[in-house]
Amino acid sequence: MRGYIVPVLASVALSRASTLPSDHSSSKRAVISWDDAYSKATTALAKLSIGDKVGIVSGTGWQAGNCVGNTKAVGSIGYPSLCLQDGPLGIRYVMGATAFSAGIHAASTWDVDLIRERGSFLGQEAKQLGIHVQLGPVAGPLGKIPTGGRNWEGFGPDPYLTGIAMQETIEGMQEAGVQACAKHYIGNEQELNRETMGSNVPDRVMHELYLWPFADAVKANVASVMCSYNKINGTYACENGGIINKLLKEELGFRGYMMSDWNAQHTTTGSANAGMDMTMPGSDFNKKNVLWGAALQSAVQSGQVQQSRVDDMVKRVLAAWYLVGQDKGYPTATFNSWKIGSQNVGGNHKTNVRSMARDGIVLLKNTANALPLSKPKSIAVIGSDAIVAPKGANACADRGCNDGTLAMGWGSGTAEFPYLVAPLDAIKTQAQKDGTSVTTSTNDNAQQGASAAQNADYAIVCVNSDSGEGYITVESNAGDRKNLNLWHNGDALVQAVAQVNKKTIVVVHSVGPVIMESWIDNPNVVAVVWAGLPGQESGNGLVDILYGSTSPSGKLPYTIAKTQQDYGTNIASGDDSTWDLFIDYRRFDQQKIEPRFEFGFGLSYTNFTYSDIAITGKPTSGPASGTRGVGGPADLWETVATVTAKITNSGGVAGAEVPQLYVGYPSSAQTPPQQLRGFNKLKLDAGASGTATFPLRRRDLSVWQNGQWVVPSGDFTVSVGASSRDIRLTGKITV
């Protein structure tokens, strides 16, 4: 197996600033400029009847077409029936598509090259299948509430990390030729009552947290954005001119189109005049209640919707299609979502899943270098999470059960597994090479687990915690998690095994943080491997880390607390008016709450030393005032200072480190104590050094004040560390 692992170790230190545009000059960009795309769209528009126009912006209705969303073709301009398909980690309803790592696992790699490649592979598979619009990536939910059911589809509760991941994913997808769709816009942080509840988000919180990653998406030229089910300040997102026309189109200069989430539209004219540009799927799920189509045409005829508004919708939709080059020889969809069949996705993309499964793993505990394993005589592998579910990895529709190893959550953001390598599968392969004997107990019975473990040199206990979309309830979790405990009595299983085995290794597959207080300090639990939601290559990536062919390099994209209450956010039963700047580590820092494992934390098999911090640049205070373009004022995105630091691998083996930059603002700005504003991933041989480079954009030093982005004057602290609480170097920028 080692044979096909892509070597991660370069003899010369690689360093790349995560916020700089990737050097993909060798790959041919499919993306033309918005201006060019709009001029083609304007020419095409002139040839269209009102019926054509309405057909372009209205879905054909639920299940009226092969894709989850379809629109009408217009022969006169060579425009196809648009195929819109889920989802963010792979192509839904197709057997043979790659089941990539989930968004949250991609984030835990902190590796922009892998994230971009994942986006590119997602886009290549979509194009091969004739999908025009792939419904991802996800920046909403952001992850305000740790039990939120769909948090795992996105990149975690830090807007900076999520923003970078959005940008890289979107650029990767769109360069491959598919239109990306940034979703769900906005304030959709829970599954409970998502279709009726309201999110009353103050303007500043909106800008500094929830809108932030959508701004990255817009700046990355995302073709489309999806408005969410919930209300904002009493008005449904897809009917809300404040968030569509004002925030996205005027303030951020978004030039693509806003589509509704499926059946999230409520009125014919309200949605049109608020700035919505496409309705999906075009009817409700009973194939009734058609709000656009003929009704939109009547609204134009009666003057309730201006003709110019419909022309604007059409231009936006057509421009996005031209933008990514879909007017030139794009394939036609041949699959049928409503009858899952096998398709050839035209490439082997599992290498990315293997790398992410491995590099997204976060090593949380490793007493006395218990890991990596080296040809142990015997091991026991325990837990239902160690094997593929007996009924098969795809036995439950949209992965709506939790019977075997967990490699993705449930809901519309899932894909069929083409195969799934479970922990036990990969461990057995390794054990055979090493001559290790393996005993197993592949259920969650604590007594049986303990008896399998008692005579083994090592016991590997696999446990999990799942969540998903609210239309499916799994083991009484209605989308959102009931709590942050391990499922299936995982705590009892770990404790029973640790009672009889002094070298117990816990492997956790999870959609988000779990509370592990009942066993984390147990001295017999010598290692904890946070294995996330790795996708189809799960077991292989795990073995890479357990046996040390690669040193672990993942870092937590969220905080793991000691109690659920410490997060201070909860699923709302009605409207939610509890929004502030203090989510995840921002709150733990402000309230001085000790987490179990802090945001950005992760151990390695080697050590890194930090030295030689240097700061260049002289930012000026005051508002961003540059020319408004895509993404807002141009100067908001300009680099105004650069921080560098030297990182040395001072341990015994090769490894990768994620140095992180946190910025503390002048106290007058009343921000959280520190906020992530940069990261690198440096792959370093033993003894090698590299330079971490953190470009700070004007945006990264700005706060939202009275309707604009302003750099406050005063002292900014810059902290470079191995986690949010392991700061190794500090400096100061005076503005």
Tokens 């408004």 found at: 628
CA distance 301 to 299: 5
Task: Return d(Cα 4, Cα 595) in angstroms, integer.
Answer: 38
DSSP assignments along 119-178, one per residue:
HHHHHHHHHHTT-SEEE--B-SS--SSTT-TTGGGB--S-HHHHHHHHHHHHHHHHHTTP
Q: Which two tokens stand for residue 40?
A: 């083609």
- 228 is a contact residue toward ligand NAG (CB under 6 A): no
| Cβ proximity to ligand NAG, 164 vs 237, nearer residue | 237
Q: How far is the CB of 107 from ligand NAG (least distance, A)?
A: 26
The reply to whether 68 sits near ligand NAG by the rule CB under 6 A is no
Residue 247 Cβ vs ligand NAG, minimum distance, rounded to whole Å: 6
Query: Which span sits near ligand NAG by CB under 6 A: 216-224, 513-521, 604-612, 724-732?
Result: 604-612
Name the minimum Å distance from CB 181 to ligand NAG.
Answer: 21
Binding track over 551-590 against ligand NAG, x by CB under 6 A:
----------------------------------------
Joined tokens for residue 64: 């009226």
Using CB under 6 A as the binding rule, whether residue 489 contacts ligand NAG is answered as no
How crowded is the C-beta side of 17, counted as CA atoms within 13 Å? 16
Distance separating alpha carbons of residues 259 and 279, to the nearest angstrom? 6
- Minimum distance, C-beta of residue 227 to ligand NAG, in the bound complex (Å): 12
Q: Which of 267, 269, 448, 607 binds ligand NAG (CB under 6 A)?
A: 607
3-state percent breakdown (helix, strand, coil) of the chain, nearest 5: 30, 20, 50
Please list every residue from 168 through 207 that binds ligand NAG, using CB under 6 A: 200, 202-203
Q: Please report how many Cα atoms fall inside a 13 Å half-sphere around the Cα of residue 422, on the Cβ side.
A: 22
Interaction of residue 652 with ligand NAG, rule CB under 6 A: yes
Residue whose CB is less far from ligand NAG, 471 or 704: 704
Q: Which of 462, 464, 377, 373 is nearest to 424 (CA)?
A: 462
Active site residue 359: no
Is 244 a residue that touches ligand NAG (CB under 6 A)?
A: no
Query: How many angstroms separate the CA atoms of 350 and 418, rounded?
Result: 10
CB of 249 to ligand NAG, least distance (A): 13
Length of the chain: 735
Q: How many residues bind ligand NAG (CB under 6 A)?
A: 12
| Cβ atoms of 467 and 409 closer than 8 Å | yes
Q: Does 647 bind ligand NAG (CB under 6 A)?
A: no
Binding mask 87-126 for ligand NAG (x = CB under 6 A): ----------------------------------------
Q: Which two tokens stand for residue 439?
A: 């005993």
Distance between CA atoms of residues 596 and 577, nearest Å = 28
708 binds ligand NAG (CB under 6 A): no
**Residue 357 phi, psi dihedral angles, 5° rounding:** -55, -40
Q: Torsions phi, psi of 540, nearest 5? A: -65, -45
- The span from the CA of 443 to the CA of 450, in Å, is 12
C-alpha to C-alpha distance for 90 and 68, rounded to whole angstroms: 14
DSSP state of 58: B
In whole angstroms, how close is the CB of 242 to ligand NAG at the nearest point?
3
Stretch in the footprint of ligand NAG (CB under 6 A) among 125-133, 348-356, 454-462, 603-611: 603-611
Own/partner contacts of 42-47, CB < 8 Å, gap of 24 or more, are 42/315, 44/77, 44/79, 44/318, 45/311, 45/314, 45/315, 45/318, 47/76, 47/77
Which candidate, 188, 8, 220, 56, places its Cα nearest to that of 123?
Answer: 220
Q: Does position 626 bind ligand NAG by CB under 6 A? A: no
Task: From 61-69, 262-270, 371-379, 600-608, give the range in contact with ligand NAG by CB under 6 A.
Answer: 600-608
Q: Does 351 bind ligand NAG (CB under 6 A)?
A: no
CB of 154 to ligand NAG, least distance (A): 21
Residue (539 or 659) nearer to ligand NAG, CB: 659
Residue 243 binds ligand NAG, judged by CB under 6 A: yes
- Specify the 3-state DSSP secondary structure of 4: helix
User: Could you say which of 606, 649, 660, 723 contacts ligand NAG (CB under 6 A)?
Assistant: 606
CB of 722 to ligand NAG, least distance (A): 12
Q: Which is the catalytic residue, given 261, 480, 544, 576?
A: 261
Q: Which of 232, 278, 630, 718 binds ligand NAG (CB under 6 A)?
A: 232
Asked whether position 242 contacts ligand NAG by CB under 6 A, the answer is yes
- Rounded to 5 degrees, φ, ψ at 159 are -65, -30
Beta strand extents in 456-604 (DSSP E only): 458-465, 504-510, 525-530
Contacts by residues 75-78 (CB-CB < 8 Å, ≥ 24 positions apart)? 76/47, 76/48, 76/52, 77/44, 77/47, 77/48, 77/318, 78/327
Q: Are 342 and 96 in contact (CB under 8 A)?
A: yes
**Shortest separation between residue 537's beta carbon and ligand NAG, angstroms:** 26
Output DSSP code: residue 630: T
Task: Verify binding: residue 389, ligand NAG, rule CB under 6 A.
Answer: no
Out of 42, 233, 489, 590, point to the residue binding ligand NAG (CB under 6 A).
Answer: 233
Minimum CB separation of residue 325 from ligand NAG in Å reads 34
Q: Considering beta carbons, is residue 233 or 499 the nearer one to ligand NAG?
A: 233
The least CB distance from residue 607 to ligand NAG, in Å, is 4
**Does position 687 bind ligand NAG by CB under 6 A?**
no
Q: Return the number of the residue (651 or 673) whose C-beta is nearest ligand NAG.
A: 651
Nearer to ligand NAG, 233 or 524 (CB): 233
Q: What is the 3-state secondary structure of 663-691? A: EECCHHHCCCCCEEEEECCEEECCCCEEE
| Residues in Cβ contact with 246 at an 8 Å cutoff, skipping those fewer than 6 apart | none
What track of x and - describes contact with ligand NAG for positions 123 through 162 (by CB under 6 A)? ----------------------------------------
Q: Is 499 in the site for ligand NAG (CB under 6 A)?
A: no
Please tell me whether residue 245 binds ligand NAG under the rule CB under 6 A.
no
Torsions phi, psi of 133, nearest 5? -130, 120
- Smallest distance from ligand NAG to CB 60, Å: 31
Candidates 548, 651, 673, 731; binder of ligand NAG (CB under 6 A) is 651
Q: Toward ligand NAG, which CB reaches closer, 236 or 567?
A: 236
Among 421-429, 454-462, 594-602, 605-613, which window interacts with ligand NAG (CB under 6 A)?
A: 605-613
**Footprint of ligand NAG (CB under 6 A):** 200, 202-203, 232-233, 242-243, 605-607, 651-652
Annotated catalytic residues are 261
